[in-house]
Homo-oligomer: A and B are copies of this chain.
């Protein structure tokens, strides 16, 4: 976990008069140990490996805090569970593309996209505070080669693709 995150979290905790607890530390560590997105349930499982005492309730409560602190962002990938994205500190205005073939989520940042959206927003009489773009797409590699390593990998690992809503 980057020092940057720890720093911001400490600030937040001090500012709000909160306390450092083992459970919280474990959950935070679990959240930022990888740059992969996760659901509350997935985070719960990860956190348990660090601190067997971590409970689902505390995971949910901590998620709320981390979102409030601006360290985590809720994103909508279309499932029935909320997905959390830990990468907004590194890439403050990135967006998501979801491959409908293999379920892979690709993050992308593009200045032009941001600029154009600002433009459109201003034209409508507003000031853009946040934009989220989700693109559902199919894999060109799969179509052209008949195969795509991500699809194979995700099938093998039994990884959830698009969960039902």
A→B interface (CB under 8 Å): 74, 76, 82, 97, 99-100, 106, 108, 110, 112-113, 116-117, 120-122, 124-141, 143, 165
Contact = CB atoms under 8 A, between A and B. Distances in A.
Nearest to A112: B116
List of 3 A-B pairs having minimum Cβ-Cβ separation, nearest first: A126-B137, A130-B136, A76-B76
Contact of A131 (B124, B130, B133): B133
Given A117-B133, A127-B143, 14 more contacts: A74-B165, A97-B121, A106-B126, A108-B124, A110-B120, A112-B116, A113-B113, A125-B140, A125-B141, A126-B135, A126-B140, A128-B135, A129-B137, A131-B135
B124 A100 contact: no
Contacts of A126: 97, 99, 106, 135, 137-140
Contacts of A125: 139-141
A82 B76 CA distance: 12
A134 B113 CA distance: 13
Contacts of A128: 135-137
Given A76-B76, A116-B116, A127 B137 contact: yes
Contacts of A76: 76
